[in-house]
Structure 1
Amino acid sequence: MQVTEEDGGRLNAFAKEPRMEVMDPSEGRSGSSKVLFIGGALLVLLMMAVAAGIS
């Protein structure tokens, strides 16, 4: 951790942040993220159908 001293003698600690990674636009979404997105959308639709059926 990086520690700096403020006015009045107080110490302030900063966490070490990871380096940023620049992604190529050509990479796009992977197949697994598309499957996860579609599965989440189906789950939301199923939950809405159950809620409509109950009410």
Structure 2
Amino acid sequence: MPYTTEEGGRLNNFANEPKMYQAEPPTQGQKMVYAILGIGGLALVGGLIFIAFSVS
């Protein structure tokens, strides 16, 4: 576990903060994949609800 040293030589065992970076917006292809996965997820949940109601 990494430690940081404070004034006077005391050790501090709080975590070191990771380097910050700027997030990049999704590309057009990634947006299309997200949309397809969303539609597929909605279809799956809708189908499961339909099956649950039809069985009961």
**Structure 2 residue matching 1:14: 3-state secondary structure:** coil
Q: Give the number of aligned pairs.
A: 49
Larger strand share, 1 or 2:
1
**Bigger radius of gyration:** 2
Higher helix share: 2
User: Which runs of 4 or more aligned residues in structure 1 lie more than 4 Å from their structure 2 counterparts after TM superposition?
Assistant: none
Matched-pair identity in %: 22
The two structures, once aligned, show a CA RMSD in angstroms of 2.9
Aligned to 1:21: 22
> Tell me, which stretches of 5 or more residues in structure 2 are unaligned?
none
Unaligned runs of 5+ in 1: none
* TM-score normalized by the length of structure 1: 0.56
